[in-house]
């Protein structure tokens, strides 16, 4: 699998926030098998240069870094944050977030498209956090995005896939564009369901970091994502309204009352 010009071996992208401790975060990342981790620029700030310690932990993983513009609400703020992240993390990758509504953290798709165009023209490789809207997807691709990251549900909600029809339609309309379900995943079964729709990967954070055992949960998600992907490429059977016996009835002996 390839994102822009870089190959990746895992379809599991994992976040680095909310863990009980740096050591548990590192163990969870290792258990996930992920080679892409998302990092917020805000983790690099704070007194006594605590963010530099965090950056050193991330380097220990050996994973590719996907900086994000988490919490940005305007185009200007997102673009500025992206430029700062590129300087700090030395990567053209950026997970672009432009938040438009506080309660659901739904993307501001108008600002998102505008910011994506600005950043793409400036050499960034943009991973936009978006909705499953087909028109928005078209505009993001036209703006230079080669990867789309539609939400499954509101960030941190754990609700899974709220709009399976919309996600399936997005996959069907853009068969060659890498698609990653981002946000709202709460259970490994949710991740498997996304992969069974033909998605290329899943990005999550809260479901692992806030679990009772983050390391074990990371391993569970890794297995579910791989299982869902294998299920999709194995070409599952179609749903039926009526039963279809797995054992053929033709040729079976028939015993009537006279031979009982």
Q: Could you list the active site residues?
A: 95
Under 8 Å CB-to-CB from 92, ≥6 apart: which residues?
A: 4, 86, 123, 124, 125
Q: How far is CA 47 from CA 25, 38, 41, 115, 243, in A?
A: 21, 22, 14, 30, 65
* Residue 38, φ and ψ in degrees, nearest 5: -90, 140
Is 183 labeled as ligand-binding?
yes
Rounded distance between C-alpha atoms, residue 186 and residue 158, angstroms: 4
* Residue 17, φ and ψ in degrees, nearest 5: -100, 160
The angle that helices 109-121 and 134-142 make with each other, rounded to 10 degrees, is 20
Is 184 labeled as ligand-binding?
yes
Instruction: Return the closest-CA partner of residue 95 out of 63, 125, 65, 68.
Output: 68
Is 71 labeled as ligand-binding?
no
| Residues of each annotated binding site for 1-deoxy-D-xylulose 5-phosphate | 156, 183-184, 205-206
């Amino acid at each position: 699998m390839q994102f822009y010009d870089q190959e990746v071996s895992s379809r599991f992208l994992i976040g680095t926030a909310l863990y009980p401790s740096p050591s548990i975060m590192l163990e969870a990342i290792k258990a996930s098998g992920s080679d892409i981790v998302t990092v917020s620029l805000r983790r690099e700030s704070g007194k006594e240069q605590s963010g530099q310690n965090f950056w050193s932990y991330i380097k220990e993983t050996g994973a590719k870094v996907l900086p994000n513009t988490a919490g940005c609400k305007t185009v200007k703020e997102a673009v500025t944050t992206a430029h700062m992240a590129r300087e700090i993390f030395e990567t053209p990758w950026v997970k672009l977030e432009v938040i438009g509504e506080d309660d659901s953290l739904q993307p501001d798709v108008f600002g998102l498209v505008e910011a994506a165009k600005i950043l793409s023209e400036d050499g960034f490789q943009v991973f936009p956090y978006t909705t499953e809207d087909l028109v928005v997807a078209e505009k993001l691709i036209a703006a230079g995005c080669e990867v789309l990251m539609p939400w499954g549900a509101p960030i941190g909600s754990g609700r899974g896939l709220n709009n399976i029809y919309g996600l399936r339609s997005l996959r069907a309309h853009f068969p060659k564009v890498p698609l990653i379900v981002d946000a709202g995943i709460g259970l490994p079964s949710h991740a498997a369901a996304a992969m069974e729709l033909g998605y290329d990967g899943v990005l999550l954070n809260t479901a692992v970091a806030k679990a009772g055992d983050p390391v074990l949960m990371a391993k569970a998600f890794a297995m579910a994502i791989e299982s869902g992907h294998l299920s999709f490429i194995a070409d599952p059977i179609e749903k039926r309204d009526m039963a279809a016996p797995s054992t053929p009835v033709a040729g079976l002996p028939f015993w009537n009352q006279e031979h009982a």
